[in-house]
A and B are shown apart, each in its own frame.
Chain A
Amino acid sequence: MKVGVPNSFCYAGMENFFIRVIPEVLEDSQIVFSGKTTKEMVEYGLKNGCDELCIPAKIFIGHVEYLIRKKNVDVLFLPRLVSVLPGTYSCPKIIGIPDIIKTNYCGVELIVPEINLRKKRKIMSEKSMKNEQLFDFPMAKIAKTKNIIVLAHSYVIFDEFLNKGILETIKSAGYNPIYPAYYRFNSFYISSDLPKGFFWSSARDIYNYFEWAVNNTQIDGVVYLMTFGCGIDSVLQELIMRKCNKVGLPYLCITVDEHCADVGIQTRIEAYLDMIEWRSKDEKNYLSTHG
């Protein structure tokens, strides 16, 4: 039996988890990953996704369609990630995405186990449900100086279509990009300066990383990669911007969407880095807060 697993959106970085779990659930199965986002998938997604969905979700639909059309999978394996950190929820779109696939692609069989750490109710086997094993991303290495923190959901940072090569651009300008990778921090570490801890797992992760980096490392600037139509980003971005204003960090917010114009974004990043360079050289005393 061919089991299709799209690896984008919330399932990005879960490859090792799936390889461990699927043989436990299904006998003699062959796992088919959709792989990296291609232009073809993006087109499928844009055509079949509902207009208001955020870009990662549209691309996800493209991945599913690609698996169905080109790989002829028998079953799709889409766990419902209700909560991946104790005490938090995932974004409503992540929770509801199996329902979209179920109702829009009627011919395909779906396997939708529920992962819900909020209620400490585990549907899948105990061993594979250890928190740190769910997602698997390479951690960023923190340099002594010249760090730029790039904040976004992991499915944006590690998707080359969505991040438009921002990490590479920053690297080639001589700076070291650092970024949050899902859930490396103790989930019960609640940020002190927030009026209320976030109830979204990814938002909590990003904000905690940001605050930790501001307090413990030497960072020169903050770049927020916002996806168009993302509900969490609209709140999170605002809070991070306000914090940067108070601390006096140069801040840049880039909204990425389906249009593939890498060059424009590269120019903006370069201008931003030039500004940081110039500021550290010429204006040691005065700190302007906006990039």
Chain B
Amino acid sequence: MRKITFPHMGNLFVIAKALFEELGFEVVVPPYNNKSALEIGKRLSPEFICLPFKLNMGNFIQAIEMGADTIVIFGGCGPCRFGYYGALEKEILKDLGYDVEMIVIEPLFYGLRNFLEQVSKIFARKNIASILKRVYRLAKKVDGIERKVHFLRPREMVKGSVDKIYERFRKEALKVYGIDQMERLVDTTNVLLDNLYIVNEKVRKIGIVGEIYTIIDSFSSLNIEKILGEMGCEVERNLYISQWIDTHLIYPIFRKKDTIVKRYSKGIMPVLIGGHARETISYAIYFAAQKYDGILHIFPLTCMPEIIAKSVLNGIKNQIGVPIMHVVVDEIDSDVGIKTRLEAFLDLIEARSEKVERGLLSWD
């Protein structure tokens, strides 16, 4: 029996665990991203590689110590470095002497046969279609919880009650088995969240854009969403896990494109440059058009596409007209610095909004 593990990315483990268990594998979920995972990753990874790679390495080593023998990860055909993650990680683990099998699911660009070979190692099971359908529904629901948490955090009556429920959900998710039980857990969490008392305060809205891993994974983004929530801001992101499934796995089948990206990237970045640079730019403009109070752009140090996005955003900041803060995350494990920066950012928004109301502000 294979013992499967996979890298963490926010709540991905909830979905992946349920999927692999439903397919009949034993699943080893590595400990949540934490300081020691980052420490291991820092030691084993190339110096200038991006943060997600380092956390992946930490996850893998910790999972192997817990008994995992198979690692599943997606590949890619560029131009972002993520496409080479699997291959490089394989090489590093091999040189370290770990005897694990890595299943790297490459896109069809590298040939159908290669794809089927890798996928059949995982999906050699009955009625895949119905399982995938249920997993997709689960992913939608899990993201729904995250959205609800973002909505409730600044509005909760008893401070900290949302996070208590959310943490309990993440903890319980490690204990339940299969899609059905996971779905029931999600439903009870939803009920708990719905029954919270909320107060109607003046809530600021902040849009978060940036590189997929660092905005979805709260450890690598230094809990920015939670900090903002506690400071009374509602957060909206441009990427969720189910949205990733939509845009990368489902839309291509129907030859559909994200309408917001299509509409707002016109004239600024006509072609794909890899990663989520285009999404970052178009959603930044979109959030500004939706009258958000501020935009946060989060990306790991040396992330190639997002650096281009940052440069482009710098060029069109007059057109956007909403304050943007760029947060570059790297091997930091303290959130004090980021708290100070966020406070300053919110002060700026506060001061600016008064001027906007009185019609004094000229963005130039």
Contacts and interface: CB of A to CB of B under 8 A. Distances in A.
A89 interface: yes
Contacts of B92: 238
A65 B349 CA distance: 33
B294 interface: no
B46 A50 contact: no
Interface in A85-105: 88-93, 95-97, 99-100, 102-104
Contacts of B305: 92, 96
Interface string A76-88: 0000101000001
A226 B48 CA distance: 10
B311 A49 contact: yes
A200 B271 CA distance: 17
B185 interface: no
A96 B47 contact: no
Interface residues of B, number: 44
A199 B79 contact: yes
Contact of A196 (B81, B87, B271, B273): B87
B87 A53 contact: no
Nearest to B319: A103
Nearest to B269: A99
A238 B36 CA distance: 23
Nearest to A195: B87
B277 interface: yes
A117 to B, nearest CB: 14
A233 B269 contact: no
Contacts of A283: none
A211 to B, nearest CB: 15
A169 interface: no
Contact of A238 (B75, B88, B304): B88
Interface string B227-262: 000000000000000000000000000000000000
Given A82-B271, A95-B274, A198 B304 contact: no
Nearest to A243: B91
A38 interface: no
B308 A196 contact: no
B268 interface: yes
Nearest to A101: B315
B156 to A, nearest CB: 36
A104 B302 contact: no
Given A52-B301, A199-B77, A199-B79, A92 B308 contact: yes
Given A100-B315, A103-B316, A234-B48, A88 B88 contact: no
A88 B78 contact: yes
Contacts of B271: 80, 82, 95, 114
A60 B316 CA distance: 20
A92 B76 CA distance: 14
A123 B73 CA distance: 36
Contacts of B273: 92, 95-96, 99
Contact of B308 (A88, A99, A199, A233): A99
A239 interface: yes
Contacts of B269: 96, 99
Given A103-B268, A229-B48, A242-B91, A235 B81 contact: yes
Contacts of B77: 89, 199
B310 interface: yes
B353 interface: no
Contact of B315 (A92, A104, A231, A242): A104
Interface string A186-217: 00000000111011100000000000000000
Nearest to B77: A199
A266 interface: no
B311 A104 contact: yes
Contacts of A104: 311, 314-315
A242 B95 contact: yes
A124 interface: no
A136 B226 CA distance: 53
B247 to A, nearest CB: 18
Given A92-B277, A230-B48, A50 B88 contact: no
Interface of A: 49-50, 52-53, 80, 82, 88-93, 95-97, 99-100, 102-104, 106, 114, 194-196, 198-200, 226, 229-235, 237-239, 242
12 contacts: A52-B307, A53-B311, A92-B305, A93-B307, A99-B312, A100-B311, A103-B268, A195-B90, A229-B302, A235-B49, A235-B84, A237-B46
Given A52-B302, A95-B79, A229-B302, 12 more contacts: A49-B311, A92-B308, A96-B277, A99-B312, A102-B268, A103-B311, A198-B84, A231-B304, A234-B48, A238-B88, A242-B91, A242-B95
Interface of B: 46-50, 75, 77-81, 83-84, 86-88, 90-92, 95, 104, 106, 110, 268-269, 271, 273-275, 277, 301-305, 307-308, 310-312, 314-316, 328
Closest 9 CB pairs of A and B: A103-B315, A199-B78, A96-B308, A89-B79, A234-B48, A104-B315, A196-B87, A238-B46, A231-B304
